[in-house]
Chains A and B, each alone.
Chain A
Amino acid sequence: MKHYQLGEFEEVVMLTVGVLYNEAYGVSIKKEIESRLSRSVSVGALQTALIRLEDKGYLKSREGEATEERAGRPKKYFEITALGARVLDHVRSTREELWNSIPKVALKLIMTN
């Protein structure tokens, strides 16, 4: 498995897209991240991350319906591609590998401190 590039924010965005499943578009992703991770997300940062992820092929998009409050502008829904899923899995497994490699003692010490 080759080197996958995925930044921390990008990972968060991808996971959120996954969480929202069929309902992942700009505003909902933003709100979800803000509420779950209690950090504010600007539209600009989110959109760039989404564009980048789409360019890398981890996400794909489709145009959705337009509501009145959006003045007829369509929503852009995102979903995770197969490649995206593999990347997420890779990231997760490497993390877990790292977790498992930490001696129990070391972790305990840190925790108690």
Chain B
Amino acid sequence: MITPAPPKLPLRFFRWYCHPKLRDSIEGDLRELYAERRFKHAKWKADLQFVWDVLLLFRKGIIKPTEGYQNLNNYGMLKNYFTIGWRNLWKNKAFSTINILGLSIGIASCVLLSLFIQDELKYDRHFPDSERIYRVTTTMSNFNGHVSKLQRTSPPIGPALLNEMPEVEAQVRVVKDLSATEQLVRHGEKYFYEKRCYKVDANFFNFFPYEFNEGDATTALQHPQSVILSEALANKIFGREPALNQMIMLNADTMLFRVTGVIKENLNRSHLDADLYLSGLEDELRNYTTWATGNFVFTYVKMKPHATIEGSLQKMATIMRQHGEKENADMGRKKTLGLQPLHDVHLYSQEFDNDIELGMAGNSTYVKAAAVIGLLILVLAGINFVNLTTAKASVRAQEIGVRKVIGADRTAIFIQFMGESLGLAFIAMFLALALVYMALPYFNELAQKNIQITAHQFKFTAGVLLLFAGATGLIAGIYPSIILAAFNPAKVLKDKKSRTGSSHMLRKGMVAFQFTMAIALIACILVIQRQLDFMDSKPLGFDTRNKLMLNLRTSEAIAHYAQLKNELRNMAGIADISASSNSPSTPPVNDWNFYPADKSENEAVAHYIVKVDDRYFKMMKMGIIAGRDFSFPSDFLNSDPQAPRKVIVNQTSLSKMGIALNQAIGARVTNTQDKIVFEIVGVVEDFHQFSMHKTITPMIFYAFDPTIDFHQAIVAVDDEPGTMMSRVEAAWAKINPDTPMECTMLKDSIHLQYENDKRTSAIIFYATLLAVFISCLGLYGLSIFITERRTKEIGIRKVMGASERMILAMLSKEIISIVAVSFLIGAPLSYFVIREWLLEFAYHIDPGISLFLLAAAITTLVAIIAVGFESLKAALANPVKSLRSE
């Protein structure tokens, strides 16, 4: 009898899923049953029952397990790797903690800095055709050789380029109110000071599209007296109410503006982001026909796709020649137009006059520094990993020996340790993610950023995390893995004490690298701190103590200044009050060229103009070193139109114009713009009008009518300025009921100029802290290991009569020598880096060797603390203990 065969397909399915150990016996049962059923029933019925049985057998316990059932593959081995790796992780808790903590700090700092770099790099790139947009720049070459570069240009140039150059597709102009850093925005009882307020051409939002919450981008700027608000400002003023068609009042103009749009909050960044955009720029600029002065207009042009920059620049030069050559030559200079790509505006605008820039300018140097610092911290953490793993290698030598004897080849061992290193890196990665989330708010504050890990940022963050974790795991793992894989099993197993000494030098080298970086960073911090202290303490040439600076911003406040002066003068506790158009630490507005009346205008020198009120120099304690102070009101009334205006200049002005101090009084100077002649009546001692970044510039002062045009009143108070502030405010409120008082301490305002430097210093400080911390972690781990290995030696030494101090000295000697080598490399390195930074300041300290020695001392101290704990424990231990257990 031929045994009937069951249907093939279900049988194959069964054989595929069934556990191989059960497969044959159950198949036998199935076949037996099938044969019996075929005998009794029809074929289809037996088939059906067979299929049914096969399906019912498809259940847990019978299906073969995915991980396999016998060692035909490496699953079991892989499992073993995990077990061993995990056990090692737990066994050496100190090492694992140091490794994972170090790596996660390294990865977290890298991710944070990548977010920072990404944020900086993506400025202005979201605008359509942004690669074809350029900002028109101006280079002024005075005939005396002085060159200044501006990122702005004269009002008619933008429209002229559009009309006369076929390459230009569109142009738009933006103007920022130069007289004040902040604008007063009022609606009803509410008022706010806003920094970012730009007046723009009507096509601004076609050129730079923004998404609107309310209103329409194409028509929002069509009518004069329109204003478009940012979502944040609209919420501040109107809360949840719609802002459209509401009226708000702005500043000095005390004119009403109609809200015609609200811009949606977005994550794209641009240097043109603002809180208020005002319409009506065309009308305001219509009367400007000059091609020489009035360089306060930020002009953007969009070139046609095929236009070349060289060709365009040539055409622009021609246009400039046609329109403005004579006008400029009359002023003693040549003006050249340039094009700055929009993409470069945020990071590469340092060469321009940066006192008036739109937005908060970034700095490509900071971006590079951030990248270097992030990678440096990661490298330091990676070095810890390599050091500790190779140091620990000897402990695992036996395991490797056994593995090799059993049959593992180099590749297998290599893969095992690479896997361990990658695994560790990924554990660190998750910790790093948590660290990034926790640190982000603090980082944002430190870097003045508003970085958020939102959905579309998350992809980037996760990518960066994976990249850094993977790269660190791979790179840090390669060396130890190669070393470990190369162990000779016979040697390792025969002689327990056989240690690999080959990596000893390398280990020392890497620790030296860590300490080189630590010393360099600490030295940088010390120098930066010294420089900040220097700027704080250097005499500025005038008295900053107990001075209140009141901003005169609205027309009301300007008009009532004289009244305020009278009121405050009579108040007890107030020593004096004066005013100027530009007090120290406020941005300069006027930059005019003057030349001695007996010389040609080719020798004109750029001066900052400051208009001052009565007793300004006296109150500020600025020394008049020749001639006299202004006498009011005779010096500003200028009763005799034939007599030249009286001015006071500073020492730098005299030396730049080549006038000797003893001939200065009575000397005449002429300005290039309208050829007015001035007479010098006094010379003021040089003082620091601007920050220490700038050398003292030539300055010219003239007396001015207190009822017309001052920007700041300065009040000198006798005692505690805090209590005086409220009394001054009361007087202010009485005189200027419609203008809220805006008051800062002159000292604070001066300090504010160094905010950026302080921020840089803070960022470097934290980076240093992390770097030193990570280095010390590594050193601590190594010291545990070294003392562990030398316990017997220490025991014997103690038995032979060594004192604790000798043991300590013996153990610290190595560290000290490493620090010494690090110092020799780190000190010059940091000197070269920090000198670059110092050169940004016109006035800076000269870092002596003592600062670097101090850095080395700090590092040594920290290193000894890191090593000392374990060493001390070893030195104090009872030698019997270490020698007894063999």
**Which residues of B lie under 8 Å from residue A42 when comparing CB positions?**
52-53, 56-57
Closest to A61 in B: B25
8 closest cross-chain pairs (CB), A and B: A73-B28, A44-B56, A26-B29, A76-B25, A70-B28, A44-B57, A42-B56, A69-B35
Once the chains bind, are A48 and B61 in contact (CB under 8 Å)? yes
Question: Are A71 and B33 CB-contacts (below 8 A) given A44-B53, A51-B61?
Answer: no
Once the chains bind, are B53 and A69 in contact (CB under 8 Å)? no
A47 at the interface (CB under 8 A from B): yes
Once the chains bind, are B61 and A43 in contact (CB under 8 Å)? no
Question: Are A74 and B56 CB-contacts (below 8 A) given A27-B33, A43-B30, A69-B3?
Answer: no
B101 at the interface (CB under 8 A from A): no
Give residues 51-76 of A contacting B (CB, 8 Å).
Answer: 51-52, 63, 66-71, 73-76
Question: Are A75 and B59 CB-contacts (below 8 A) given A44-B53, A51-B22?
Answer: no
B366 at the interface (CB under 8 A from A): no
6 other A-B residue contacts (CB within 8 Å) besides A27-B33, A73-B28, A74-B28: A43-B26, A47-B26, A47-B61, A48-B60, A48-B62, A63-B25
Once the chains bind, are B61 and A52 in contact (CB under 8 Å)? yes
**Which residues of A lie under 8 Å from residue B5 when comparing CB positions?**
71
Listed A/B pairs (23) with beta-carbon separation below 8 Å = A25-B25, A26-B26, A26-B28, A26-B32, A27-B29, A42-B52, A43-B30, A43-B33, A43-B57, A44-B53, A47-B26, A47-B57, A47-B62, A48-B59, A66-B28, A69-B31, A70-B28, A70-B31, A71-B5, A71-B28, A73-B25, A73-B28, A73-B31
A37 at the interface (CB under 8 A from B): no
Complex Cα gap A45–B29 (Å): 13
Complex Cα gap A45–B56 (Å): 7
Closest to B35 in A: A69
Q: Which residues of A contact B (CB under 8 A)?
A: 25-27, 30, 42-45, 47-48, 51-52, 63, 66-71, 73-76
Residue picked from A25, A26, A51, A73, most chain B C-beta under 10 Å: A73
Question: Are A51 and B3 CB-contacts (below 8 A) given A26-B26, A43-B29?
Answer: no
Complex Cα gap A69–B34 (Å): 9
Complex Cα gap A111–B229 (Å): 91
Q: Residue B27 contacts which of A48, A52, A63, A73 (CB distance < 8 angstroms)?
A: A73
Once the chains bind, are B56 and A71 in contact (CB under 8 Å)? no
**Which residues of A lie under 8 Å from residue B55 when comparing CB positions?**
44
B458 at the interface (CB under 8 A from A): no
Complex Cα gap A26–B33 (Å): 10
Complex Cα gap A26–B57 (Å): 13
Complex Cα gap A71–B55 (Å): 21
Complex Cα gap A45–B24 (Å): 17
B69 at the interface (CB under 8 A from A): no
Complex Cα gap A20–B55 (Å): 27
Complex Cα gap A44–B38 (Å): 20
**Which residues of A lie under 8 Å from residue B36 when comparing CB positions?**
27
Complex Cα gap A110–B56 (Å): 39
Nearest CB of chain B from residue A78's CB, rounded to whole Å:
10
Question: Are A44 and B62 CB-contacts (below 8 A) given A69-B3, A71-B3, A73-B24?
Answer: yes
B869 at the interface (CB under 8 A from A): no
B13 at the interface (CB under 8 A from A): no
Residue picked from A44, A63, A75, most chain B C-beta under 10 Å: A44
B58 at the interface (CB under 8 A from A): yes
